[in-house]
Structures are given as structure tokens and as C-alpha cells.
Amino acid sequence: MGHPPLEFSDCYSDSPDFRETLKCYELELERTSKFLKELIKDGNNVINAIKGYSLAVQKLSQTLNVFQFDFIGDSLTDDEINIAQSFQEFAGLLQEAEHDRMMLVQNASDLLIKPLEKFRKEQIGLTKEKRKKFEKEGERYYSQLDKHLNLSAKKKESQLQEADEILCKERVTFYESSVEYVYQIHQVQDRKKFDVVEPVLAFLHSVLTLNNLTVEMTQDFMPYKQELQLSLQNASGLPWQQLSVDVTAPATNRSDWRCHL
């Protein structure tokens, strides 16, 4: 959504149109500030959820890793050895996936939260300070202008000259505060294009990179998965048609074994 241009030359006139344009930018600033608060809150919720999920998966991998199968007899077949070691293989796969996920969690705050908080506190916060100064100096100037307009013509020349000097000083101070405020509005409008978009882009890239890694891990896991399924088939004595999972089906069609890490 576009706004009318905010020109430095309009600071001196302080016209109603200038004030109306300022109001448009102030409303946009408030909207951006609220958006960033919500984005930071949601981002923290996502990071905490990922962390909680990762810790739960790590606990699962620890449980799998310590379990030992018992078999009848003194010697084990290759299939039984394969089955006996399966939980340790599962645990190793989960630990590898969660190691990468925890790296994402550890970097997520630096990638997403801290830059957004910095922009909101420093840039938007500074703009609000400039606005307060602008409004304060405006009140002082217009109060002085009102007094000046109501001066009696019977005042001495020296008193009138002093009043002119005071008004001129207040006018300059107000004009300077107006220019500073407009400059800061331009700054925050320009910087938010980068300081807000870039952190979200970096976080999204890290999430998609992690997803890509899990896809690669799934592909690497498929040969072992098929080997283990054959061992389960041999150990069960059942043909593959009676197993719950079809070991001959393409991996992309077996959603029940797809690795959602």
C-alpha cells in the first residue's frame, strides 16, 4: 500500500496536508510495530516447539538405544543379528537428525528473533522518540505564536523585538525537530525492507535446508530399511504379502515408512 510522499520542504510550512501525510506514516509505523511483536511471539513459539519436539525425539532415541533383544539359542542368524541391532540403528538415525535440528534451534534466535527485536526497539523506538520531540516542540512553538499574536501594540519596541526573537528561536527549534522526525521516518521505511525481510528469509532458508537434509537421510536409510524388512520377513516365516509393509513397493509410495524427521 502506497503513501503520499513525505517531503522535507513541507516541514517548514507544517500545513494540514503535511500533518495528514505524517499521520499516514505514523499509522503504518504502529501497524509494523504490532506485526513485529506478533512475528517475534510466533517465532519464539515455533522455536520452542521445535526444541521441545527435538528433546522428545532424543529421549526416544535413548530409549531405543539401551534396549537389547533376547533370542533363543547360543548363536544368531544374520537376520536375527540384523533385527537385534535395529533399535541402535534407529537411535543413531534419530540422533543424527536431531543434532542438525538442535543446531537450527541454537541459531534461530540469532537469525530471526534478535534482528527483529533490534529493529523494533532501535529503529521504531527511535522514530517514536523523534515523534514525541516533534509534538513537544510543536506545542511550544504554537503556544509562543499564540502569545505573540495577542501581544499588545502598546508594548515597548524592545519588548516586541524580544518577543520576535523568542518566537523565531522556537520556530527554528520546531522546524529542526520536524526535519529530524521526517528523516527518521524515511530511515525506518527504507530499512524495514531489509531489516525485517532478511531475518525471515534466513530462518526460512535454515528450515528448508534442514528439511532437505532429512530427505537425504531418508534416501540413505532406504537400503537398510529394505534389508531389515527382508530379515523380518525371513524371521517371521511369512511371505512378504502377509507383512504389514510391502517391502517391494517403491519408497515414495509407502507413506507409513516415510521419514518425517
CATH number at residue 165: 1.20.1270.60
pLDDT at 154: 66
Q: Does some domain include residue 253?
A: no
pLDDT at 35: 96
Phi, psi of 8 (to 5 degrees): -65, -30
pLDDT at 119: 96
Domain region containing 159: 17-235
pLDDT at 242: 52
Q: Does some domain include residue 102?
A: yes
| Sign of the four-CA dihedral 122, 171, 142, 20 | negative
Cα angle 231, 261, 62; round to 5: 70
Q: Where are the alpha helices (DSSP H) in the chain?
A: 10-13, 16-66, 78-84, 86-108, 114-118, 125-149, 157-195, 197-236
Q: Does some domain include residue 228?
A: yes
Closest CA to 25 of 227, 241, 193, 189: 189
Q: Does some domain include residue 135?
A: yes
Q: Does some domain include residue 249?
A: no
pLDDT at 244: 53
Q: Does some domain include residue 5?
A: no
Using CA atoms, how far apart are residues 163 and 145, in angstroms rounded to an integer?
10
Grid cell digits, residue 153: 501594540
Q: Does some domain include residue 87?
A: yes
Q: Does some domain include residue 131?
A: yes
Residues 6 and 21 sit within 8 Å (Cβ to Cβ): yes
Q: Structurally, how many domains does the chain consist of?
A: 1
Grid cell digits, residue 3: 503513501
pLDDT at 260: 38
Pick out the chain residues at pLDDT < 50.
247-261
